[in-house]
């Protein structure tokens, strides 16, 4: 018979952010299905331009899920409210928002021409992405719950699924924008297919990526950093089709090709929170 001690701790604000993440992922999936229905109606045959607004909306919702996913962990750590329930709930939401939604988007908005080469190839690639994402999340939870896990080791093993989803979604966003009248997307469909397969492998790899968990609401900044961040935000909004690709690419390349060759001191300066000065008391 269960007792109150068996009940998991459910903290409101962090899990509310996770619920927002899940909601964005769910609405992204619905938006993709709406695009499919509109584009494949009897009147249109298959008109990619009719589906484009729905696909773009889905991509923006995936970006929204990335923001909610960023906030839930920060709020949990800020209030000391990390819990097994929050970790499991977050992973379930991530499977929908960063696994199913991007893979469905890729399968129907981008990869469908590959079915003419090999029947079902687009769906297979999309399925591999979801499978690798789910395996990565399960491995993360097992490591976090392990008694041998070192809490000071905050690195991710394999690229985080929100970053993989953000990269593939932002690249799709840009390519759809550049090829809005070309339903076949030319050679871009092969680039995106290869990118999706590469991200799938990278998620279950042992490549170390920084989590930036020490960067939170209490992290101090300088006036120059604040101004630089504000300028970057304005540029990102102004060039919304290009900048997300650049930002997600920088993270991907940093962990894959730059970070392993940097001295540990330099890595620490880039990623670690600046300690407060004791003489300011």
Confidence of residue 48 (pLDDT cuts 50, 70, 90): low
Mean pLDDT of the chain: 82
Asked if 109 contacts 35 with a C-beta cutoff of 8 angstroms, the reply is yes
User: Alpha helix locations (H) across the chain?
Assistant: 12-39, 48-78, 84-94, 101-105, 121-145, 161-178, 188-203, 223-238, 243-253, 264-271
Alpha-carbon gap, residue 155 to 152, rounded angstroms: 9
Alpha-carbon gap, residue 168 to 260, rounded angstroms: 23
Look at residue 6 and tell me if it is in a domain.
Answer: no
Q: Does position 81 have pLDDT exceeding 70, yes or no?
A: no
User: Which residue in 193, 170, 176 sits closest to 122, CA to CA?
Assistant: 193
Q: Does position 2 have pLDDT exceeding 80, yes or no?
A: no
| Confidence at residue 174, expressed as pLDDT on a 0 to 100 scale | 86
Look at residue 2 and tell me if it is in a domain.
Answer: no
Domain membership of residue 145 as a residue range: 11-211+222-262
Look at residue 42 and tell me if it is in a domain.
Answer: yes
- Residue with tokens 């630089």, as numbered in its chain: 228
Look at residue 142 and tell me if it is in a domain.
Answer: yes
Confidence of residue 180 (pLDDT cuts 50, 70, 90): low
Q: pLDDT digit string (tens) for 189-241? A: 788 889 999 999 999 999 989 887 666 656 666 778 788 889 998 999 898 88
| Confidence at residue 245, expressed as pLDDT on a 0 to 100 scale | 92
Total structural domains within the chain: 1
| Confidence at residue 150, expressed as pLDDT on a 0 to 100 scale | 67
Instruction: Read off the pTM.
Output: 0.85
Q: What is the CATH number of the domain that holds 251?
A: 1.20.120
| Confidence at residue 49, expressed as pLDDT on a 0 to 100 scale | 72
Look at residue 251 and tell me if it is in a domain.
Answer: yes
Asked if 90 contacts 17 with a C-beta cutoff of 8 angstroms, the reply is no
Look at residue 5 and tell me if it is in a domain.
Answer: no
| Confidence at residue 135, expressed as pLDDT on a 0 to 100 scale | 95
Look at residue 256 and tell me if it is in a domain.
Answer: yes
If you average pLDDT over residues 234-259, what whole number do you get? Answer: 90
Q: Which of 44-53, 125-134, 186-195, 235-244 has the lowest mean pLDDT?
A: 44-53
Look at residue 79 and tell me if it is in a domain.
Answer: yes
């Amino acid at each position: 018979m269960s007792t109150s001690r068996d009940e998991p701790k459910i903290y409101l604000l962090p899990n509310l952010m996770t619920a927002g993440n899940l909601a964005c992922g769910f609405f992204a999936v619905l938006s993709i299905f709406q695009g499919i229905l509109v584009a494949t109606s009897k009147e249109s045959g298959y008109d990619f331009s009719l589906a484009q607004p729905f696909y773009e909306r889905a991509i923006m919702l995936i970006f929204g899920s990335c923001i909610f996913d960023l906030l839930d962990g920060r709020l949990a750590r800020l209030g000391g409210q990390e819990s097994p329930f929050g970790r499991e709930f977050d992973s379930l939401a991530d499977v929908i928002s960063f696994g199913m939604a991007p893979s469905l988007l890729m399968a129907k908005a981008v990869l469908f021409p590959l079915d003419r080469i090999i029947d079902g190839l687009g769906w297979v690639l999309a399925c591999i992405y979801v499978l690798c994402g789910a395996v990565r999340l399960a491995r993360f939870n097992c490591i976090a719950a392990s008694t041998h896990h070192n809490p000071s080791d905050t690195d991710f093993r394999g690229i985080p699924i929100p970053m993989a989803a953000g990269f593939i979604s932002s690249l799709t966003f840009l390519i759809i924008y550049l090829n809005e009248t070309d339903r076949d997307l030319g050679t871009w469909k092969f680039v995106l297919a290869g990118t999706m397969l590469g991200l799938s492998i990278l998620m279950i790899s042992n490549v170390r990526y920084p989590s930036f968990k020490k960067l939170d609401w209490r992290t101090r900044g300088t006036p120059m950093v604040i101004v630089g961040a504000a300028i970057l935000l304005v540029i990102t909004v102004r060039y919304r089709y290009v900048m997300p690709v650049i930002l997600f690419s920088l993270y991907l390349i940093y962990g894959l090709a730059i970070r392993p060759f940097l001295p540990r001191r330099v890595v620490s300066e880039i990623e670690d929170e600046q300690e407060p000065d004791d003489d300011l008391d």
